[in-house]
Every structure is written in C-alpha cells, then in structure tokens.
Amino acid sequence: MSKGHNRQTCEVLKKDIERLRESFGDNHPEVKEYDDNRRSISASASRRAKMPRSCTYCSTHGHNRRTCPTLKKHLSYAIRLNRDYCKEVLSAIEDYGIGLGAILRTEDQTLGWHKNRHFIQGSRHTLWMIVEVDWDAISFLNPNGRALRCRNMSTGEEIEISVPKMQPSLDIHSWEVASPSASFDAPIGWESGELIKKSLQSMTLDEVQEILQECGRYGE
C-alpha cells in the first residue's frame, strides 16, 4: 500500500480514471464521481483561501502568529525579565560555589525521647557532589526548578535540588557547601534570557498576560 497521498492525489487512480474517460467518456459513473469530487474540493479550498485569517495569538486580522506585534512585545518583556533572573541565579551560583563538582554536606539527625521530650541523640553527615546543572530548568517561569543534580558519594544515590535564594545552611536548607566549585560555565545564550522564547511561544495570550502581570511587567 502506497503512503503519502490520498484518493484525490493518487496517481494510480488518476490513470484508471483517464483510461475510463478515453473508453467511455466523461459521463461514465466513476469518471463523473471523480470529477465532481475534484470540483468540490477545489471550491472548498477556494472558499477557505478567501476567508479572512486571524492571528492565533491575539485573534486580530491582518497578520499571523509569527508576525504578531503583540506577541513580539510580550516576548520582549519576558526576555528582559528572564535575563535579569538568570543574572541573579548565576551570581548566586558563583557566590555560593555550587557549580559542577561542588561537594555538599547534609546532616541526618537521630532523635531520642526522654521525659516526654524529644532531643537530638546524634547526627551523621553525608557528602554529595553536584554532577549536573540543568540550565534549561532555570528561568523566571520556574523559580523552584530542581536544576542541581547531586550524587551521594557513598551510595551513588542521586537527588535533585533547586538553586537556593540565600547562602545554603544546614539549619535552613538541610545542606551546606563543604567544598565549593569554580565551574560556572552557563551555555551560550543562556544569560541573554532568550531561551524563554520557546516556552512562551506555545502559550496563549491569556497565559502570557497572566505571567507578565504577576511579574509586574505587562503591556497592551
């Protein structure tokens, strides 16, 4: 069975119809049905071509989503927001030393019970290494994205954590930096904030407006 076409574009059917046309003329039932279907499809396509098309983003006539001025304006706002956010995150990663190869320390506490009160009976430290920074997971759209993949240096277990918004500590984050890293190489184009375009271009106008309004940056 041939693929990549339909009944109306089938070359085998077209040749069969032409043979029938040569032998029996245009009034042969199969020839007539074929011609009627072709005319109907052509008329339908012509009507669709004459219909005014509207932008799938803003619903305005006269342009499409690719050339939509409203979408371009919204993308411009979002890129600026994301650029500022990426700079803040990269600065935090550098300040806290949580790039590739950084060693993190967690503390597991053992609780005891005495006279109806809990107390810390003991604690054990575990070391983890940051083995991957998922830069694509870092954007103002996903501020709590778990972009840091860490591996337990004893068991090989892996977990993912987000970039902290303040100096990590055992008291607040349940982990701290035991040995900082100096590897902070973000991929080309990441700091520009441009990578956010891919996510926003698939959203609706209402969704993008809501995001920009929440961030305090919205234009008509």
Per-residue pLDDT, 4: 63
Which of left, alpha, beta for 92 (phi over 0: left; psi -120 to 50: alpha)?
alpha
Spatial separation of the C-alpha atoms in residues 133 and 124, rounded to whole Å: 26
pLDDT confidence bin for 32, thresholds 50/70/90: confident
Exposure b/e, 163-182, CB count within 10 A at least 16 = b: bbeeebeeeebebbbeeebe
pLDDT confidence bin for 1, thresholds 50/70/90: low
Per-residue pLDDT, 219: 47
SS3 25: coil
pLDDT digits (tens, 9 = 90+) for 75-107: 999 999 999 999 999 999 999 999 999 999 998
Instruction: Count CB atoms within 10 A of the CB of residue 90.
Output: 18
Spatial separation of the C-alpha atoms in residues 5 and 2, rounded to whole Å: 8
Q: Where are the domains of the chain?
A: 11-50, 69-214
Q: Encoding tokens for residue 27?
A: 């009034």
pLDDT digits (tens, 9 = 90+) for 126-137: 999 999 999 989
CB 135 within 8 A of CB 186: yes
Query: Which residues, in sequence order, are bridge partners of residue 110?
Result: 122
pLDDT digits (tens, 9 = 90+) for 137-184: 999 988 888 999 999 999 999 999 999 989 999 888 889 999 999 888
Per-residue pLDDT, 115: 58
3-class SS shares of the chain: helix, strand, coil, % to 5 = 40, 20, 40
